[in-house]
Chains A and B, each alone.
Chain A
Amino acid sequence: MRADNASMSRIRQSQSEVAENKLPSPRLRGIVSILLMLHLTALIAAPMAVAPSSVLSARCWRLFQPYLEGAFLNHGYHFFAPEPGPSHLIRYELRMADGTVHEGVFPNLDEQKPRLLYHRHFMLTEFMNNMIESGADEQIVTELTKSYADHLLDNHNAESVTLFLRRHFIPTPDQVRDGMRLTDLSLFAERPLGTYERSSL
């Protein structure tokens, strides 16, 4: 009981210290407190809404969606989660007007420097894979692929381009111990994304 009294007197003492520390008016504090609580709830609603999520989380996210998207706070913060997986790249074959075929891959460390620029391209290909994996609307995936294809056609002045999503698997420690390189051809798998003609874009 004496301990309880002591702790309460400590709380009261610290409250009086707070009062001395020029607190804003109670009204202002009230308004700011409500805004802070809403902001913090919104921050938590974003990662909570990443699938699999509850109905409550989904509704909270929908409520805060304008604020979260408007302020670029709509993130799950799932860095290397649920676990680090294979990387995704896009390989392309460009058919030029003279019939020759040029091949390329992005992201490409030799072409995109500095590293931040490379990483921006890497995120573009990872985004493409995420859209496909998450079962996004077929039309949106096609629109995205066309946008990448259009950029490649314009940049290389090509007649048509065929895109492939390339998955680069990670070798196991045993495979590396046995001498396998991280770029071993057996670690790659591809799926076609489509062929786009200059006229069709």
Chain B
Amino acid sequence: MNATRQYFRDLQVATIGGWNRFWFTQADPSTVCLIRILAGAMLFYTHLIWALNSSEFFGTNSWLRSETMARLNRSGFAWSHLWMTQSNSSLVILHILALVVFVLMTVGLFTRVTTVLAFVITVSYANRQAPATFGLDQINALLSMYLMLAPCGARFSIDRLLAKRRAAEKSVDVNPSTAANISIRLIQLHMCIIYLFAGLAKLKGPAWWNGTAIWGAVANYEYQSVDLTWMADWPIIVNLLSHATVFWEISYCVLIWNRLTRPIVLCLAIPIHLGIAFCLGMVTFGTIMLVANLAFVSPKLVRSLVGDVFRKRRRNVRSRNADGCKDVKRRETAVVS
């Protein structure tokens, strides 16, 4: 009896401790800051395409009129500010405002405000045209949702440069934060849920069991952007890719948490998503999935990689300035002589 009680006490202590460690420790925000730049750029591109085809999707004679969407959205929970207007001039203003928000988010200016606005705008556009959305919009929405929780302008941003300038030469430390940790944890768990259900749903289809499913994807003319029908002569490759996809998706939520298997899982994500991007014509979707996978890359590695790029650029600018000064001096001496 005592042993049982002890077991439950230990279980409780371990669970609460683990929960606190997982969610409430403080983390360096470098990874969320990098995701902010890449997701911001993708949001800008996605909405630029919406904006350039505004009359097709949002105007009075769009594919899906407001009345039709109202019938489809019977529950009324899928809100959108774009239902309030169908006039072209108001839509143009709304599109421009949205694009400005995404630019500010990407460069990291007023990040605390722009990330919240980015989420509101992303969800609103997606809800307005839900039947025309796909995986790209789902990942855009989840990333913008979690980024608004984190101090994702703390690094690699104009906000950071301004803070440094305000502090006038004093070093401005980037403090680790619990919000950054919660944000990154939510992206990680959401990715696990996505891959797990994507993998489990495939188990319902005989083609994933008999190993022919990948053929169904590569021989689909409407998706195809690279001709891979040569695979008809290589059924073993089709089988291997089909089985590997299912195994990878289902095991992702387990193997990604282990320090040793994580790099393998992430390395496999690259060919899988690049394959979707370049062979199935979904460059945007493949790219945003890779961006979301960055949530598993350590802030230290991000800092060293992105920091190097920033430092190199700064060094180049400095050396260019120095060269410029030397040129001016040389010209001055030439004029004097």
Contacts and interface: CB of A to CB of B under 8 A. Distances in A.
A interface bracket (residues with beta carbon within 8 Å of B)? 35 or more
B193 A79 contact: no
Given A87-B223, A170-B216, A71 B63 contact: no
Q: What's the dominant secondary structure at chain B's contact region?
A: helix
Q: What's the dominant secondary structure at chain A's contact region?
A: helix
A76 interface: yes
B61 interface: yes
Interface stretch (B133-141, B157-165, B290-298, B306-314): B133-141
Contacts of A84: 207, 213-214, 216-217, 220
B25 A21 contact: yes
A176 B227 CA distance: 12
Given A44-B193, A70-B79, A182-B219, A173 B231 contact: yes
Contacts of A118: 281
Contact of B201 (A77, A115, A182): A77
A18 B24 contact: yes
B225 to A, nearest CB: 7
B40 to A, nearest CB: 17
Nearest to B56: A151
A148 to B, nearest CB: 6
Nearest to A44: B193
Nearest to A107: B222
Point out which of A65, A84, A123, A140 has the most chain B C-beta atoms below 10 A from its C-beta. A84
Interface in A12-50: 12, 14-15, 18, 21-24, 29, 32-33, 36, 39-40, 43-44, 47, 50
B132 A120 contact: yes
Interface in B200-247: 201-202, 204-208, 212-217, 219-225, 229, 231-233, 235, 238
Contact of B14 (A11, A36, A120, A168): A11
A44 B134 CA distance: 19
B201 A81 contact: yes
B21 interface: yes
A82 B63 contact: no
Contacts of B201: 47, 50, 76-78, 81-82
Interface stretch (B64-72, B82-90, B97-105): B64-72
Interface string B46-79: 1001000100110001111101100111010111
Interface of A: 4, 8, 11-12, 14-15, 18, 21-24, 29, 32-33, 36, 39-40, 43-44, 47, 50, 65-66, 69-73, 75-87, 89, 107, 114-124, 127, 139-140, 143-144, 146-148, 150-151, 154-155, 168, 170-171, 173-174, 176-177, 182-183
Given A71-B141, A82-B204, 14 more contacts: A11-B17, A18-B20, A23-B24, A47-B193, A47-B201, A70-B78, A82-B201, A87-B223, A114-B49, A116-B284, A120-B129, A122-B222, A123-B133, A182-B221
